[in-house]
Amino acid sequence: MKKLYFFFIFTLCFFSSFSQRIEMETAFENSRYHRVIILGNQILEEQQGDYDIFLLIGKAHNALNEFEEALPYLIKANEYAEIEWQYAAAYVEIMEAYYAIDNKEKAMRYYNKGIHVRGTKEVQRKFQKLSMLFGYNPMYNDWISVKTEHFSFHFEDILSIDDVDNYIEERIEAFLTINEFYEATLPKRIDFFVWKSKGVAQKKLKKFLGFTNPKYCISHNKMSQTLGHEIAHSISYWYYKNNTRNRFINEGIGVYFDLSGNNRMDAAKGVLQYKRRISVNPVDFDIETFWLNPDKYPESIMYPVAGAFVEYLIKFDKKKFLKLSKDQTFKNAESIYGRWQLERLILNFNKKLNS
């Protein structure tokens, strides 16, 4: 009877743990990272952990920008790894976490480990992608780097810039100007890559220049990039790390802080007037449509309109706009401004835009 009792308890615990593991995997696949962490730690309280549990908890913390919290779990997963693909999956996550907290020496160490073991196709793709993004790929060996308090500048061809000191100083001033507005704390210096060869960059990075990955405070820039646009993306992102971004508002922030000195409303009206002239059936443009369907219009139209609208909201109420920066959805805007006031703001802006 006693043996039967212990067998029953063992079976119950086994199936309970198995059920939690399945729920963890499902939660991760559905981007419910907080749930993954809760379930994983519940399992660890009840039994000794293993590779899968530690890795999944670490990956969930990385996904939530909680890189410091991720590292103990990922290092533990590495200790439990037994075969090549397990080591590779742990290495790439550890590399990501160390890079994101600006410990590049350790990040590079795990990158070098990772490229010498065979991982799954998914892990190998992530290694390749991050090595290009982080500047670890051997093609960057001849680039020149310059460190300042807030930046690590990386130049493909430093001689192609007429006055490098001035180039750097202008972007330092841009950072200070933008962060005077946000007062954000970034987890690391901004890695600011400056490409001379746009074609090579597009081929290697699989993206058009310029762009920013604010999760890691990285910008890849063309030579003609405006001063503040990409810098603003990293600063505004880390104003609140658990942010929810909307492409219309997010790109509007980039345009508003590009420091080009352009009249934003005139620029927006100019592109829309041109669009109407060449359109067979010209129509008025509505901000709500831009906001809810940011991919409906090309960047040449959406960006200047977004920049003008962000300027309009900031001038109306800076504090409310800072709240909107955290969660840029239309639904949250209704909560911040009130539905009636938001409708009035959009109506008045639409009138100015379409006049």
Residue 317 lies in a domain: yes
Structure confidence at residue 14 (pLDDT): 44
Per-residue pLDDT of the chain (355 residues; tens, 9 = 90+): 544 434 334 443 444 566 778 888 888 888 899 999 999 988 888 887 789 999 999 999 999 999 999 999 999 999 999 999 999 999 999 999 999 999 999 999 999 999 889 889 999 999 999 999 999 999 999 999 999 999 999 999 998 898 999 999 999 999 999 999 999 999 999 999 999 988 888 998 988 999 999 999 999 999 889 999 999 999 999 999 889 999 999 999 999 999 998 899 999 888 887 776 656 555 677 899 999 998 888 888 899 999 999 999 999 999 999 999 999 999 999 999 999 999 999 999 999 888 7
The domain that holds 193 is classified in CATH as 3.30.2010
Cα–Cα–Cα angle for 320, 322, 325, rounded to 5 degrees: 115
Residue 241 lies in a domain: no
Residue 232 lies in a domain: no
User: Are 193 and 222 a contacting pair, CB within 8 Å?
Assistant: no
Do both 6 and 132 map to the same domain? yes
Structure confidence at residue 282 (pLDDT): 57
Token digits of residue 201: 């960059």
Do both 100 and 169 map to the same domain? no
Residue 242 lies in a domain: no
The domain that holds 122 is classified in CATH as 1.25.40.10
Do both 53 and 148 map to the same domain? no
Structure confidence at residue 122 (pLDDT): 92
Structure confidence at residue 278 (pLDDT): 56
Q: Which domain holds residue 318?
A: 264-354
Do both 165 and 78 map to the same domain? no
Instruction: Read off the amino acid at residue 286.
Output: D
Residue 287's nearest CA partner among 335, 243, 352, 236 is 352
Do both 13 and 91 map to the same domain? yes
Do both 125 and 208 map to the same domain? no
Structure confidence at residue 162 (pLDDT): 87
296 secondary structure, DSSP code: S
Assign 3-class secondary structure to 188-226.
CCEEEEEECCHHHHHHHHCCCCCEEECCCCEEEEECCCC
Last residue of a domain, one of 200, 225, 250: 225
Residue whose tokens read 């959406």 = 302
- CB-CB neighbours of 284 under 10 Å: 11
Do both 131 and 9 map to the same domain? yes
Residue whose tokens read 């990293």 = 234
With both helix axes pointing from N to C terminus, report the angle between 318-326 and 164-182 in degrees, rounded to the nearest 10. Answer: 100
146: helix, strand or coil: strand
Query: What strand order describes the sheet that includes 211-213?
Result: 144-147, 151-155, 190-195, 218-222, 211-213
Report the domain count for the chain: 3
Do both 282 and 343 map to the same domain? yes
Last residue of a domain, one of 162, 197, 225: 225
